Homo-oligomer: A and B are copies of this chain.
Amino acid sequence: MERKKVTFADIAKYTNFSKTTISRYFNNPDSLTLENQEKIAKALEELGYQKNKLAKVLANGKSEFVGIIIPNLYFHYYSEMLNKILASYEEYNYKFLVFIGNHKKEVERKYIQELLAYKIEGLIVLSNTISSEELKSYNIPVVTIEREAKYVCSVDTDNYTGASEATDLLIKNNCDVLIHINNIFPEYVPSYDRIRAFIDVCDNNNAKYELIRENFGYNYESVFAKMQNIFNEIDEKYLGQKKGIFLSNDTYANIFLNLVIQKYGNLPEHYRIVGFDNSPIASEAVVPITTIAQQIDKIANTAMDLLVLQMTEMKKRKPIPLKEPIHKQIAPVLIKRNTTD
C-alpha cells in the first residue's frame, strides 16, 4: 500500500489553483482569502500531503540546519550542553546535525565538510582540535563554547570569577593551606583562568598555597590512581593543618572526597573541598560537594543567540558580517553544600 507522494502540483490540480498559490498558502497564508485557505486545507487533508523541506531548502537556500561538533557525551557537561542547545529548537526552529569529534582533528574536519555539504547555516563547536582561524575560514557563522576562539564568536564561563569565589571561600574557611588540583593543558584554554585566579587570590591574601597539576587521563581508574597518590602526599605533608582543596571538576572532587572518607570514615574538619561544574555527582556524593556551578542553560542560550544573530544577518540581501568576533562570558555561581563550612 505505497501511496505515491503528493506534491504542490497535485494539490494545485485538485484545487484548480496554481502551485504558486499552494506555496503561498504555507508561506504567506494571509494573501489568500479565508475561503481559499480552507479549500486548500481540505485538499491537503484529503490527499494526505507531506511537506518536503529539502525541496524548499534547495529552492530558497535556507536549510535551517545548524551543525554541532562536540567532543563526547560521556561528560555530563557536554551532554547537558547539547541538551540545552537542542532544546532551543522550540524557540528558533533550527534543526541540529550532531557529530561526536572524539578529539580527532582530521575526523572533525571531515565532519565539517559533511555539514557544509548539507548547507548548514551555522556551526557550534565545543571541541578544541581545529583552530579558530580555520573555523573562520569556512565563512559561515560559528560560535564556540569554552575553547580557543580568537577569530570566531565564543561563549565561556567566567572562569576567573568562579575560581576566585572558590578560593575566597576556602580562605574564609580559615584553611592553613590552599591546594588547587588541575589537569595539564595549554594557557590559551579558557579554563586556565581558574589557575590564574587561584594564584592571584592566594597572593592577594598572603595565603600559603600549592598548585598541583597532573595528567589524570581519561578514564576513572587512571584518575583514581593518580588522585590517590596526590591525596597520600597531601595528607602526609600537611598533617595537622587545615587543608582547602579546590579541584578543577566535581568528578575529581568526588574522588578526593571518597579517598578522605575511606581514610577517616567521615569528612574531618581539616579537609574543606570545592569542586567545579555542579555536575550531578556533586549533589549525589556521600557528602554533597560545594561547587562552582556552570550555568549551562545560559551558556547554551547565549551561544544560540550569538549564532542566530549571525545567521540572520547572512540571510539579508547585503549581509554585513561582524567586524570583530563577539566573546561572551557567563558568570558561574557558588553553590555551598557540605564540604565547606
Contacts and interface: CB of A to CB of B under 8 A. Distances in A.
A79 B80 CA distance: 9
A116 B58 contact: no
Contacts of A73: 73, 79-80, 82-83, 86
Contact of A114 (B95, B113, B286): B95
Sorting the interface of chain A by its residue count into under 10, 10 to 19, 20 to 34 or 35 or more gives 35 or more
Nearest to A96: B98
Main secondary structure of the interface of A (DSSP, over half): helix
A87 interface: yes
A283 interface: yes
Given A54-B118, A57-B54, A118-B95, A254 B284 contact: yes
A251 B83 contact: no
A2 B119 CA distance: 16
A36 B99 CA distance: 34
A215 interface: no
17 contacts: A50-B117, A52-B117, A52-B119, A53-B117, A54-B54, A54-B63, A58-B58, A73-B79, A74-B80, A76-B76, A79-B79, A79-B82, A83-B100, A95-B118, A220-B280, A258-B286, A262-B286
